[in-house]
Amino acid sequence: LPKLTVWVVDRGLASAVTGPLDVLTVANSIWAHRATGKSQPLFTWRVESVSGAQVRTASGTPIDVDGPINPETRTDALLLAGIYADAGPTQVVKTVTALRPLHEVLRRQHERGTVIAANCTATFLLAEAGLLDRRPATTSWWLAQAFRQRYPLVDLRPGEMLTERDGLLCSGAITAYLNLALRLVEKFGGASLARSTARTMLIDTNRLSQAAYKILSVEAHEPHSDALVQRAQRRIEKRLEQTFSLPALAGELAVSERTLIRRFRRALQQTPLEYAQAQRIERAKYLLETTALALDTVCERVGYRDTGYFRHLFKRETGLSPKEFRQAFSRRQAPWRKAGR
């Protein structure tokens, strides 16, 4: 059974520790209800700090630890909780270099086959140890530039929520620890357990539908300051149920189609049609989750008249057919209760 070790540091984020542990706790409950023998929990863990003493997090919430970091510990996975970076990237780098003794420990654990999962700013620690060179990684998007400067050999993908290669997992901005923890559940407990856990905790289904295999692009949500594109976005969102027309959109905004497309791509790394399609599928997902509307109706409500084509698009975007999606995400009840009685 998987044994995990969580490393926490002073000024860390409490939720980056407690969040993943809550995920594991819920996973344990579901697993126990499924198993017939159910005497032991699936996941067990130890929380460790450098000094071995209680840690005070950024919000002031203290976190009890089980002991000091043991370099030789036998563990299946190491979870590195993010450090709060309110003073910017230089503070992160300073913290991470101060933890130099841990770099060698990380390298040894990696060679031993230990899965290492780093959230948010903790990915800097992995990079500092040299473990991410020529491997894909991600980090909080606002730290991407500093990261790239300091670790040019790392294949940084700031748009991705989660990356994984050779047992080295990185997750993006703070709350991506949920996805990171879910991935650990999936790795050690299977995809089905991970799905049930996510459903039970109401972890964002939009992120979830792609969490395991495909990654939601953070860049799509990055703020941009192009007023023209913003107005175009509003108009697209306002008329999702009508057929998309580029000439009409450009006309209303009093620019040429060529310019509109160009500005869109620069601001959102997307074309207007791609944006409209993504928004429509988003609306469709919402309708499938929260209503019992027939598929034909949903299809029509998001601007498509051809159900076959809509299904094709939906699957392309989400990886699931509309029916599968509704089945997976519209349940209200905790899955273990449903299965139990």
Partner DNA sequence: ATGCGGTGCCGCCAGA
Partner DNA sequence: CATCTGGCGGCACCGC
∠ at Cα 17 (98, 44), nearest 5°? 110
Minimum CB distance to DNA smaller for 146 or for 273: 273
Closest to 9 measured CA to CA, from 46, 47, 49, 68? 49
Categorise residue 31: left if φ over 0, alpha if ψ from -120 to 50, beta otherwise: alpha
Return the residue of 271, 279, 321, 330 that touches DNA, per CB under 7 A: 271
- Residue that has been written with the tokens 């049930």 in this structure: 196
Residue 296 interacts with DNA (CB under 7 A): yes or no? no
Residue 265 interacts with DNA (CB under 7 A): yes or no? yes
To DNA, the closest distance from the beta carbon of 224 in angstroms equals 13
Residue 257 interacts with DNA (CB under 7 A): yes or no? yes
Residue 272 interacts with DNA (CB under 7 A): yes or no? yes
| HSE, side-chain direction, 13 A CA sphere, residue 335 | 24
CB atoms within 10 A of CB 212: 18
Residue 279 interacts with DNA (CB under 7 A): yes or no? no
Q: Which stretch binds DNA (CB under 7 A): 131-139, 152-160, 230-238, 269-277?
A: 269-277
Q: Could you give the CA distance from residue 153 to residue 170 in angstroms, rounded to a whole number?
A: 16
Residue 134 interacts with DNA (CB under 7 A): yes or no? no
CB atoms within 10 A of CB 209: 20
Q: Which stretch binds DNA (CB under 7 A): 14-22, 140-148, 302-310, 331-339?
A: 302-310
Return the residue of 58, 273, 293, 334 that touches DNA, per CB under 7 A: 273
Residue 297 interacts with DNA (CB under 7 A): yes or no? no
CB atoms within 10 A of CB 310: 22
Residue 277 interacts with DNA (CB under 7 A): yes or no? yes
Q: Which parts of this chain interact with DNA (CB under 7 A)?
A: 243-247, 255-259, 261-263, 265, 271-274, 276-277, 304-306, 308-310, 313
